[in-house]
Amino acid sequence: MQVAIYADHDPGGKKLIATLQRRLKNEDIRAWQVQKKVPFTLVHSGDRYTKIRVSFVPAGTPTFSRAARAGALGAFRNPEPALLATISDGPSADRVLGFLVGMLTRHAEPLGVSGVGIPLSQAASRR
């Protein structure tokens, strides 16, 4: 499951990730924990959701390009988002999606988030 993240004046999403790291470190955002720095990966701090990872891939990287070619961006390929967040599969992935979108919208101004899109695959839209 992917989330396209748009950031004003931050085409590669570097400023957004740096701000997010700083806000997590300062505990301005407490519901998430950094699991890895490269690729930047978060886990939700709730016990039920710790196995679901959210990895952020900046535009212009090979991983982002592969996802775009595979159709993971759906309708959000033009204009290209600054980041693509990928939520790992698991029984609570849909809940983590809600938590991620909530965090991005609540902290949109300091993070520089101007938009969030959730591309749905053809298989998901038929359910």
Higher model confidence: residue 117 or residue 76? 117
Domain ranges in the chain? 24-84
Task: Report pLDDT for 97.
Answer: 93
**What residue type is assigned to position 87 of the chain?**
I
**Is pLDDT above 70 for 43?**
yes
The pLDDT of residue 111 is 92
pLDDT of residue 25: 93
Query: Within its chain, how far is the Cα of 85 from the centroid?
Result: 3
Q: How confident is the model at residue 116 (pLDDT cuts 50, 70, 90)?
A: very high
**Sign of the alpha-carbon torsion through 6, 19, 66, 127:** negative
Q: Which amino acid is at 65?
A: S
Given a contact cutoff of 8 angstroms between Cβ atoms, the answer to whether 57 and 41 are in contact is no
Mean of pLDDT over the chain: 87
Question: pTM here?
Answer: 0.86
